[in-house]
Structure 1
Amino acid sequence: MILLTKLDQQKVLINLETVKYIEAVPDTIIFFTNGDSVMVLESMEAISQAVVEYQAAVFRHSIPASP
């Protein structure tokens, strides 16, 4: 999950597994697989970076410790 900010300054956690696609028109809109959408303050570039950081953290935690 990544933490984003809705237009009303409310923080929201986004489950990446439910995201269908993201558009910038010019505001950033996240569309979900269930048909819902949410407009956020963060740019597509900022969201992309947050996704990469989240996925890297998940990957780091999934590697078993060396014996």
Structure 2
Amino acid sequence: MIEVTGLDNKKIILNADHIEKMESVPESLITLTNGRKYLVKESIEIIVEKVTLYKRNIFTVNIQEASRR
């Protein structure tokens, strides 16, 4: 899950695994696999960094848990 900021300054938590595409319009438009769209303040580059960090954390935890077994 990643946290982004809507145009109304409210925080939105999105499932990073459901992001289908992103466009810069000049805000960032995130389209999810279910067709829902979100306009957010963060740049596409920042969103990609958040998704990368989220995925890295998941895989790091899974690798650490597997090595303990």
What amino acid sits opposite 2:25 in the alignment?
V
Instruction: Give me the identity figure in percent.
Output: 34
1:29 maps to what in 2? Answer: 29
Q: CA separation in 2, counterparts of 1:12 and 1:61?
A: 24
TM-score (norm 1): 0.90
2:4 maps to what in 1? Answer: 4
The runs of at least 4 consecutive aligned structure 1 residues that moved more than 6 Å come to none
Q: CA separation in 2, counterparts of 1:44 and 1:58?
A: 21
Q: Residue deviations 1:12-37, cap 9 Å, x none?
A: 11101221100001110000111110
Q: CA separation in 2, counterparts of 1:10 and 1:52?
A: 22
How far 1:2 moved relative to its partner?
A: 0.4
TM-score (norm 2): 0.88
| Stretch deviating more after TM superposition (36-45 or 57-66) | 57-66
Structure with the higher helix share, 1 or 2: 2
**CA RMSD in angstroms, aligned pairs only:** 1.2
How far 1:65 moved relative to its partner?
A: 3.3
